[in-house]
Each structure stands twice: as C-alpha cells, then as structure tokens.
Amino acid sequence: MPVGWGVIGACGIADRRTIPEGLHTSPECDLVGVMDLEADATAAVAAKYGVPHAVTSVAALLDLPGIEAIYVASPAYVHLEHVTAAAERGKHVLCEKPMGRTVAEAEQAERVCRERGVLLGVGYMMRFHHLHRALEEMIGCGELGQVVLGRAQVTCWYPDLPGAWRQDAELGGGGALPDMGSHCIDLLERFLGPVVEVKAYVETLTHRYSSDDSATLLMKHESGAHGVVEARFNVPDAAARNTLEVFGTKGSAIAHHTIGQGGGEMTAYLPQAVGYDAAQRRGERGGFAVEAEPVNMYQAEVEAFSRAVRAGGSAPVSGADGAHVHRVMAAAVRSSRGCSEAII
C-alpha cells in the first residue's frame, strides 16, 4: 500500500525534481497534497501532477486526511518550524538539506522527531546514485585496497540576486558549504568513514552577498583517510566538472557529474600489478567504465523512505546523519576563523 505524502514548499526543488521524478511517479507514494505560500503557483503545481489538494498553510496541509509523511522542501530558515509542526501531528518527515541553519536546529529537529516517535530523513539523494552505490560496493569488496584519499567537488555560478535566501548567511546558515558542500561531506563519509577533524577555508571571494561562495575543506576520517571537499558558487556552469575521486592502495575511481542532480560517468583504474616504478611512468592505463543499472535518485530516495515508514525501521538517511554533517560544517567554519576541532 503506497504511503500518503504531503509537500511543504512545493514550488522549488519539489516541483523541479522530487515530485515529477519521485513522489508523482513512484507506485510506493501517493501524493495527497501540496503547500506553498503563493496560491496560484501552488495550484499550478497541483494541476500539473494531478494532486487532489493545493493549500497555502502548513496547518491546512497537516489537516488533510491520508497524509502519513511530509516532504519539507521549504527554505532552510523554516526547516525546524516545519519539521516540528509535522512531527507534532505524528507525520514522518523527509527534510531537504540542510536540516536547518545551525547544529542546534538540526539537533532539535532530530530530538522532536525522536520524542514524537516519527522518522526523520534528510535529502542527501546523491547517496542513491547508481554509480555511487557501485563505488561503495567496490570499496566494500576491497577492489580499491585501503582507501587513502577522497575528493568531492561541486560548483555553479550563483550571482547576486535580490531576495535570494541562500545568499543571506542568517537565512541559509551559510552559502555554498551547506547548500552543496554538505552533499560532498555526506558522500565522502560513505566511502571513507566518519569525519573526525576538519581544516578549512570558508569565505566569500567573488560575490557581494553575506553567505560563503567558496568553501574548501580538508578532512581526516576515522579510517585515517584524507578527504577534500570543494564547493563553489563562483565557477561558470559550463566550466564545472563536479568531480568525485577516490584513491586506494590498489586503484582509483574517478567520476564526473555524478555529484549533482543526475547523470554522469565513472571510470575505475585497477592495475593488474602494484609496485615501485623509479621512472614514475604515469597515464590512465587500464581504465574501464563503471557500470550499474541506472536509477532515478529522487525516486529511489522517496521509495526508500516510504519503505522505512511501512516497515517501521530507521530512515535510510537519518536525522542523526544530517546533524552530524552540520557538526562537520560548523567545525569547518570554526577552522576558517582560526580554530581546528575534532568532530565526535
């Protein structure tokens, strides 16, 4: 039986990706109602996908019969408010990242859902990319040997736009780091293990807004591996490669454009023999395309959460996971201001 869903914040990423590619298409989901502040735009979203109800208040959405789970896709500065409202009505919650503006907000969201006995999931949909899953399997099987280094890089061009909440540090809790870099942190932890220490530069280099447009993190993982995250709002889209690299003692995997909203390709380099070469000959010899059955990340994300609702298990990307990423980001900001701390 499909899970009944409602959407808070229907006119942004929900309309662009999560509804048409996940909630609307999946047989495991029944989209009952959508909510946003502007009535005509919300009604247009509902009409586009044949959703029975379009409302302009959270309370009205939560009053609709048949809704079991809420997808929170509103701006970050109201995530805690909306997660709390849904949890207090007994609804399971899948919240877009970042979970809030601060560590305290993320931890409070996790706490209220736990106390109310509802699931809290976080929208790190890139975990569900088929090539990222294939890389996890390669690492788990030891094909790359001891993983020693990972790098995740995502960029876009995001110029000064009046009223853009992501460009206001108070509203977004930061800029490029929470909006894009958080995905990279979450991914590298899948491959390298939990982060325990961070050194970083988190700055505004190009634009005039108050949130960061440039973030570079050097992370030490519990496994001993080093991780590098690069998030930018100041590189033209056409110049972006959105690169993911993982290196181990037996080989490497290099991907382009898998970090993003879909697509991309990955190549693995697993030499037949590993040994010392004084001549240091290099070259991409022996590389092969990593292949896996393609999946839509947004559909896989909402289906995994729906199955957790039905089975009574934990969320596939939990509130605890999201709160941990917040702690890593907070440490990165502190490091950029001159302090380096362990992440526990």
Q: Give the pLDDT confidence score for residue 31 in this predicted structure.
A: 98
Q: For residue range 276-315, what is the model confidence (pLDDT) as tens digits?
A: 565 556 665 669 999 999 999 999 999 999 999 999 889 9
Q: Which residues contact 44 (CB under 8 A, 6 or more apart)?
A: none
Does CATH place domain 127-297+327-336 in 3.90.550.10? Answer: no
Q: What is the mean pLDDT of the chain?
A: 95
Q: For residue range 159-183, what is the model confidence (pLDDT) as tens digits?
A: 999 999 999 999 999 999 999 999 9
Q: What is the DSSP letter of 201?
A: E
Domain ranges for the chain: 3-125, 127-297+327-336
Q: Give the pLDDT confidence score for residue 272 in this predicted structure.
A: 77
Which stretches within 141-230 are classed as H helix? 169-172, 176, 182-192
Q: Which residue(s) pair with 265 in the sheet? A: 256
Per-position DSSP letters for 274-337, written without gaps between them: ----TT-----TTEEE-------HHHHHHHHHHHHHHHT---SSBHHHHHHHHHHHHHHHHHHT
Q: Give the pLDDT confidence score for residue 278 in this predicted structure.
A: 56
Q: For residue range 22-71, what is the model confidence (pLDDT) as tens digits?
A: 999 999 999 999 999 999 999 999 999 999 999 999 999 999 999 999 99
Q: Is the pLDDT of residue 1 over 70?
A: yes
**CATH architecture, domain 3-125:** 3-Layer(aba) Sandwich (3.40)
Q: Do domains 3-125 and 127-297+327-336 have the same CATH topology?
A: no
Q: 259-294 as b/e, with b when 16 or more CB fall inside 10 Å?
A: bbebebebebbbeeeeeeeeeeeeeeeebeebeeee
